[in-house]
Amino acid sequence: MATLKELSTRAGKFSGGHRLCPGCGAGIIVRQVLAAAKNPVVVACATGCLEVSSTIYPYTAWNTSFIHNAFENAAATISGVEAAYRSLKRRKKFGLEDQEFDFIAFGGDGGTYDIGFQSLSGAMERGHKILYICYDNGAYMNTGIQRSSATPMGANTTTSPAGKKIPGKTQFKKELTDVMAAHYIPYVAQAAPSNWKDLTRKVEKALSIDGPSFINVLSVCPRGWRTPEEKGLEITRTAIDTCFWPLFEVENGTDYTINYKPKNKRPIEEWLKPQGRFKHLFKPENKHLIEKIQKHIDNRWEMLLRRAGEID
Amino acid sequence: MATPAKKPGWRDIPIGGRIEEAGNAHKYHVGGWRIRRPVWVKENCIHCLFCWVFCPDSAVEVHDGKMHGFDYNHCKGCGICAQECPAKDKAIEMRPEDVENKFDN
Amino acid sequence: MTKRIALTGNEAMALVMKQINPDVVAAYPITPQTEIVQIFSQFVADGEIDTEFVTVESEHSAMSAVIGASAAGARAMTATSANGLALMWEVVYIAASCRLPIVMAVVNRALSGPINIHCDHSDAMGMRDSGWIQLFGENAQEAYDNALMAVRIAEHKDVMLPVAVNMDGFIISHAVENIEIVANEDVRDFVGEYNPERYLLDVQNPITVGPVDLQDFYFEHKRQQVEAMKKAKNVIQKIADEFVNLTGRKYSFFEEYYLDDAEIALVAMGSAAGTAKAAIDELREQGIKVGLLKLRVFRPFPAEEIVRALSHIKVVGVMDRAESFNTMGGPLFSDMRSAMYDGEANVRMINIIYGLGGRDITVTDIKNIIQKVKDVNNTGKIENLVIHYGVRE
Amino acid sequence: MAQMLEIRWHGRGGQGSKTASILLGKVCSEAGKYIQAFPEYGPERMGAPVIAYNRISDERITVHCQIETPDLVVVLDSTLIGAIDVVEGLKEDGKIIINTDLEPEKMKEKIGFNGELYTIDANKISEEELGRAFPNTPLLGAVVKVTSLFTEDEFVKLIRKEFEKKFAHKPEVIDGNINCIRRAFQEVKSE
Q: What is the pLDDT of residues C156-198, one digit of tens each?
A: 999 999 999 999 999 999 999 999 999 999 999 999 999 999 9
Minimal-distance CA residue of chain C relative to A78:
C68
Rounded to an integer, what distance in angstroms lies between the CA atom of residue A296 and that of residue A150? Answer: 15
- Reference C268, options C369, C151, C161; nearest CA is C369
Q: Please, which pLDDT band fits residue C113 given cuts at 50, 70 and 90?
A: confident
Rg of the Cα atoms in chain B: 18
Residue D104 to chain C, least CA–CA distance (Å): 32
**Best of C51, C58, C61, C224 to mutate (most A CBs within 10 Å, chain A):** C61
Q: Do B57 and A230 touch (CB under 8 A)?
A: no
Element (H, E) at D5: strand D4-12
On the question of a cis peptide bond just before residue A228, with omega within 30 degrees of 0, the verdict is: no
Residues of D with CB under 8 A from a CB of C: 21-22, 25-26, 29-30, 34-39, 41, 61-66, 68
Distance between CA C363 and CA C369 in Å, rounded?
10
Per-residue confidence (pLDDT) for residue C346, from 0 to 100: 86
Euclidean distance between the first and final Cα of chain B, in Å? 36
Mean pLDDT of C308-320: 97
Contact B7 C217 (CB under 8 A): yes
3-class DSSP state for residue D38?
strand
Rounded to a whole number of angstroms, the CA Rg of chain A reads: 19
With contacts defined as CB-CB under 8 Å, which chain C residues touch B19?
207-208, 211
Residue D64 and residue C274: Cβ atoms within 8 Å? Answer: yes
The answer to whether residue B28 neighbours chain C at the CB level (below 8 Å) is: no
When CB atoms are compared, the residue of A8, A27, A35 closest to B57 is: A27
Cα separation, C173 vs C303, whole angstroms: 29
Of all residues in chain C, the one with the smallest CA distance to A52 is C212
The verdict on a CB contact (< 8 Å) between B80 and A229 is: yes
Closest listed residue to residue C363, CA positions, set C249, C285, C251? C285
The answer to whether the CB atoms of C207 and B22 lie below 8 A apart is yes
pLDDT band at B71 (very low <50, low <70, confident <90, very high): very high
Q: Touching check for B46 and chain C: CB below 8 Å?
A: no
Rounded to 5 degrees, φ, ψ at C64 are -60, -40
Question: In this complex, is the C-beta atom of C383 within 8 Å of any C-beta atom belonging to chain B?
Answer: no
Q: CA of D17 to nearest chain C CA: how many angstroms apart?
A: 14
Do the two domains C3-247 and C254-388 of this chain adopt the same fold?
A: yes
Rounded to two decimals, the pTM is 0.96
Q: Identify from B3, B10, B21, B24 which residue to disrupt to test chain C contact, counting C C-beta atoms within 10 A and taking the largest count.
A: B10
What pLDDT, on a 0 to 100 scale, did the predictor assign at position A209? Answer: 97
Whether the per-residue pLDDT at B100 is higher than 70: the answer is no
Of D29, D61, D62, the CB nearest to C5: D29
Pairwise CA distance, residues C392 & D37, whole Å: 29
Facing residue for C207 by CB, picked from B4, B13, B19: B19
Parallel, antiparallel or unpaired: strands D95-99 and C264-268: unpaired
CA dihedral over C204, C209, C211, C213, signed as positive or negative? positive
What is the C-alpha to C-alpha distance for residues C338 and C340, in angstroms, rounded to an integer?
Answer: 6
What is the per-residue burial (b if ≥16 Cβ within 10 Å, else e) of B6-39?
eeeebeebbbbbbbebbbbbbebbbbebbebbbe
Comparing C-alpha atoms, which of A286, A297, A260 is closest to residue A152? A297
Query: CB C50 to CB A72 under 8 A?
Result: no
- Least Cα separation, residue A64 to chain B (angstroms): 6
The answer to whether residue A8 scores a pLDDT higher than 90 is yes
Contact C64 A77 (CB under 8 A): yes
- Rg, chain C, Cα only: 21
Compute the distance between CA of residue A241 and CA of residue A243 in angstroms, rounded to an integer: 5
Contacts of B22 in chain A (CB under 8 A): 60, 62-66
**pLDDT confidence of residue D46:** 76
Nearest Cβ partner for B19 among A16, A24, A55: A55
Residue A191: name the closest of A273, A134, A263 by CA. Answer: A134
Chain B hits for C206, Cβ within 8 Å: 22
User: Is the model's pLDDT at A91 over the cut of 50?
Assistant: yes
> Looking at the complex, does the CB of residue A196 fall below 8 Å from at least one CB of chain B?
yes
Every domain of chain B and the residues it spans = 37-96
| Measured distance CA(B56)–CA(A194) in Å, rounded | 12
CA-nearest residue to A194 within chain B is B54
Distance CA C15, CA A25 (A): 50
Q: How far apart are CA C265 and CA C148, in angstroms?
A: 30
Put simply, whether A127 touches C (Cβ < 8 Å) is no
User: Mean pLDDT across chain A, nearest whole number?
Assistant: 97
Q: pLDDT-derived band of residue B102, with 50, 70 and 90 as boundaries?
A: low
**CA torsion angle B49 B53 B58 B59 (round to 10):** -40
User: Considering the domain B37-96 in this protein, what is its CATH number?
Assistant: 3.30.70.20
| Fold classified for C254-388 | Rossmann fold (3.40.50)
Residue C294: how many CB atoms within 10 A of its CB? 23
Q: How many CB atoms lie within 10 A of CB A142?
A: 21
D interface test, pick of C35, C177, C283, C368 with most D CB neighbours within 10 Å: C177
Kindly indicate the confidence band of residue B105, based on its pLDDT and cuts at 50, 70 and 90. very low
Could you give the 3-state DSSP secondary structure of residue D34? strand
Q: What is the DSSP letter of D162?
A: H
- Chain A, 76-105: which have a CB under 8 Å from a chain B CB? none
**CA neighbours within 13 Å on the CB side: how many for C41?**
12
pLDDT of residue D47: 82
pLDDT tier at A1 (50, 70, 90 boundaries)?
A: confident
Output B3 or A133, whichever has higher pLDDT: A133
List the one residue out of C115, C121, C55, C66 whose CA is nearest residue C88. C66
Q: Which of A268-272, B100-104, D86-90 has the lowest mean pLDDT?
A: B100-104
Residue A19 has pLDDT above 60, yes or no: yes
Is any Cβ of chain D less than 8 angstroms from the Cβ of C272? yes
**Chains in contact with C, counting 3 or more C-beta pairs less than 8 Å apart as contact:** A, B, D
Residue (of D67, D65, D62, D50) closest to C321 by Cα position:
D65
| Per-window interface: A 14-33 vs C, CB < 8 A | none
Task: Tell me the chain A residues in contact with residue C210 when contact means C-beta distances shorter than 8 Å.
Answer: 55, 67-69
pLDDT band at B103, cuts 50/70/90?
low
Is the minimum CB–CB distance between A105 and chain C shorter than 8 Å? no
Nearest Cα residue to A111 out of A78, A85, A74: A74
pLDDT of residue D110: 85
Chain B residue numbers touching C217 (CB-CB < 8 A): 7, 13, 17
Q: Which residue from C23, D34, C14, C210 is spatially nearest to B14, judged by alpha carbons?
A: C210
CA-to-CA dists, residue A195 to A35, A246, C183, C216, angstroms:
14, 12, 60, 40
Q: What is the ipTM of this complex?
A: 0.94
Domains belonging to chain A, first-starting first, are 11-308 (3.40.50.970)
List the strands of the sheet with D116-120, edge to edge.
C2-8, C176-182, D34-39, D49-57, D4-12, D72-75, D95-99, D116-120
Looking at the partner chain, which of A8, A26, A230 has a beta carbon nearest the beta carbon of B79? A230
**Which residue ranges of chain D lie beneath pLDDT 70?**
1-2, 42-44
Q: What is the mean pLDDT of residues C239-245?
A: 98
8 Å CB contact between C160 and C121: no
Q: How far apart are CA D102 and CA B71, in angstroms?
A: 98
Convert the pLDDT of each residue in C248-297 to its tens digit.
999 999 999 999 999 999 999 999 999 999 999 999 999 999 999 999 99
H-assigned helices in chain A? 4-9, 25-36, 49-54, 74-90, 109, 117-126, 176-181, 196-208, 222-225, 232-241, 269-272, 287-307
Residue of C nearest to D58 (CA): C178
Check residue D14 and give its pLDDT.
86
Q: Does B2 reach chain C within 8 Å, measured CB to CB?
A: no
Provide CB contacts within 8 A for B99, sequence distance 6+.
Answer: none
Q: Are the CB atoms for D155 and D149 separated by under 8 Å?
A: yes
CB contact under 8 A, A233 and B83: yes
Instruction: Report the chain A residue with the minimal C-alpha distance to residue C54.
Output: A83
Contacts of C99 in chain B (CB under 8 A): 15-16, 18
pLDDT bin (cut points 50, 70, 90) of residue C342 is confident
Chains touching D by CB (3 or more pairs below 8 Å):
C
Share of chain A above pLDDT 70, in %: 100
Mean pLDDT computed over A249-272: 97
% of chain A at pLDDT higher than 90: 98
- Burial (CB count <10 Å: 0-12, 13-18, 19+), residue D66: middle
Q: Which of C345, C350, C334 lies closest to C265 in space, CA to CA?
A: C350
Name the packing angle between helices C9-20 and C34-45 (round to 10°): 40
Options 3.30.200.20, 3.40.50.970, 3.30.465.10, 3.40.1710.10; CATH for C3-247 is 3.40.50.970
Domains observed in chain D:
5-190 (3.40.920.10)
| Angle formed by the axes of helices A74-90 and C59-72, nearest 10° | 50
**Which among C56, C69, C214 has CB closest to A56?**
C214
Q: How far is A310 from chain B (nearest CA, A)?
A: 31
Class of residue A15 by CB neighbours under 10 A (exposed 0-12, middle 13-18, buried 19+): buried
Per the DSSP assignment, residues forming a β-bridge with D145 are none
**Chain D residues with CB-CB distance to C6 below 8 A:** 25-26, 29-30, 35, 37
CA distance C113 to chain D (A): 16
β-partners of residue B90 are none
* Pairwise CB contact (< 8 Å): A57 & B76: no
d(CA C56, CA A182): 19
Closest CA relative to residue A130, chosen from A76, A183, A91: A76
CA distance C48 to C18: 8
Enumerate the domain spans of chain C: 3-247, 254-388
